[in-house]
Amino acid sequence: MSTESTRPEWLQEAEQHLIRYCENFSDVLITKASGAYLYTDDGRQILDFTSGQMCAIFGHSHPRIVEALQRGTQSSIHLLSAMLSPSVIELSRRLAELLPPELSRAMFLSTGGESNEMAIRMAKLATGGFEVIGFTGSWHGMTAGAQSHTYSLTRRSYGPVMPGSYAIPAPNSYRCPVKHCSGQCDNTCLDVGMDLVDRQSVGAYAAVIVEPVLSAAGIIELTPEYLKALKAHCDARGLLLIFDEAQTGVGRLGDNFGFEQSGVVPDFLTLSKTLGGGLPLSAVVTSDTLEQDCYDKGFISVTSHVSDPLPAEVGVTVLSILVEEKMQERAQKMGDHLKRGLEELQERYECIGDVRGRGLLLGMEIVKDRASKTPDPELGSKIAEQCLKNGLSMNIVRIKGYGGVFRIAPPLTITQAELDQGIRILDQSIREVLSI
């Protein structure tokens, strides 16, 4: 962050009128974004390794998305919530065609917090319970219900959360939460976590909510074996399973959706971020059976922008790009190339303790040394700041216990040359920070 004397005038003005919702604002002013690049007011070009807020899945201002916006503004932007548009109906059909038959009913909202809120709300209504299980380090949104099951730095000082909120350990094989395994999770932490929850439960289970790759927790991938074991625990207790695919859906992991490799079909699937391609659009998807059950029980949850036609028009285009341009295959190919580049840096620098993830959602953990694995978030922050100065936008997790993990999620449209450019800038920045 700039000192008071060097802080640009626009930043000082912004801080006079804007609520500071993320500690401090970046001191670069972005006037344009296109493809994999951001452009500043002083003419600099910055390579974006985060897809904005992990949302611009096919790059900034993708031409087909811009065209969809233009089409949408010429038909209808917003309607009464009970009224439907052709774009909403088409999006529901196109989404169902990409998903297993068990996931056939969708509701379209604006943000990930909203879609998770609706999934939790429906799970409570369907089961009659209220107890919901999340994972340590998870992030599911800022609304009251979603926040209650978000176990990160956002919990402190905001008062009581929803009753029946429980957490189990994230299966981080690099830092086993129960000090049991090293390098490969054997699901002991899952069994221990569920046993602890059972001892606290009042017998009113509703749901488990989980990301196939826990992002804010430091890019912790849940293996197919883990997800199958989790599903068995859910079935044994009457828990409904919610997969939050805000960041993992729409091709980013090398599959259309993150749960596909596991063979486990959730009771609810929530999508956001990537579904809108940079526009505010989210969805909760469930089965005919659960939808009917909730309908029969009087489910109601009307928001101002449910089923808005404009973002739905964009969502249809996003799914078209995913399928027609085989973006999931591109994510796998480009992700393999990027991971090899990061692993080469790991061989070169002792401070890179681990490289993990799949597709174009990768984590790079910064440590003091590989023997102790002590997190070094201060060094990670310095590297991130130096990267930005050198023309690369990076994202680092600062959550206590998970600090110092870069979340690397460039657009799926990124080229190999652009990935190589990012690796070179990262290499240069690490050298400069370490003064070697």
Neighbours of 291 (CB within 10 A): 18
CA distance linking residue 111 with residue 147, whole number of Å: 13
Q: Where are the beta strands (DSSP E) in 54-149?
A: 105-109, 131-135
CA–chain centroid gap for 55, Å, is 9
Q: Which residues contact 78 (CB under 8 A, 6 or more apart)?
A: 305, 308, 309, 310
**Helix 309-324 with 327-348: angle, nearest 10 deg:** 70
CA distance linking residue 100 with residue 266, whole number of Å: 10
Number of H helices, E strands in the chain: 13, 17
- On whether the CB atoms of residues 248 and 223 are closer than 8 A, the answer is no
CA distance linking residue 13 with residue 263, whole number of Å: 51
Tokens of 96: 């169902």
Tokens of 165: 């909120």
The residues that are catalytic are: 139, 211, 244, 247, 273, 407
Q: Which residues contact 260 (CB under 8 A, 6 or more apart)?
A: none
β-strand partners of 405: 365, 397
CA distance linking residue 423 with residue 221, whole number of Å: 23
CA distance linking residue 350 with residue 367, whole number of Å: 8
What H or E segment, with its residue span, contains residue 284? strand 282-286
CA distance linking residue 36 with residue 249, whole number of Å: 19
Nearest to 238 by CA among 329, 338, 163, 130: 130
